[in-house]
Amino acid sequence: MDAYLTIIGKREVRRYQDRPISDAVLTQILEAGRASGSSRNRQPWRFIVITDRTRLRDVSTFMARPVNVSDAAAAIVIALANARAAFDGGRTAQNMMLAAWTLGVGTCPNTPLDEAALKAALGLPEEMAVPTVLSLGYPAAGERRPLRKADPAGVLKRINRLALGELVHRQTYQG
């Protein structure tokens, strides 16, 4: 799949088919997270892969939108060494979500509502941070799917984002 189209075409998918993700596909997604760069190559992350339905439901109770996680085919908890690693956490999460997208798997980052309780339920030490839990699954009917062929200009025109002119400054914030 084309890299640029994958990047600009990636949309969050929150409703999934009742279809498991194979270990081979999960491994490819996790490898993309492992390959991510990080400050001083510290790799301040651990990934907890959850596929057990009972545990997915348990974890979902700590999330802002439980259904995304409870009904997902899998979840990947991104556990960071500490909260200061959140920027690197976003890098590795994006790598995994883009890799999933190229494999036809939809994803969505889910913010914990009660991070302390979530960490306790997963057996994570207090000093670690969980900025997000990725929910994963093959997109349900009506959900967005990866674009195999599309005109990038058309994709960029249709996305629900601020215009580039509202986001970009030149040389300084006043420019």
Q: Which of residues 43-82 bind a second copy (CB under 8 A)?
A: 43, 45-52, 55, 79
Any contact of residue 158 with a second copy (CB under 8 A)? no
- If the CB atoms of residues 30 and 140 are measured against a second copy, the closer one turns out to be 30
Any contact of residue 1 with a second copy (CB under 8 A)? yes
Minimum CB distance to a second copy, residue 91 (Å): 4
Range 115-134, binding a second copy (CB under 8 A): 122-124, 131-132
Its sign, for the CA torsion 160, 139, 75, 90, is: negative
For residue 147, how many other CB atoms are within 10 A of its CB?
19
Minimum CB distance to a second copy, residue 19 (Å): 20
- If the CB atoms of residues 17 and 35 are measured against a second copy, the closer one turns out to be 35
CA distances from 125 to 27, 39, 59, 121, 129 (A): 25, 22, 16, 10, 9
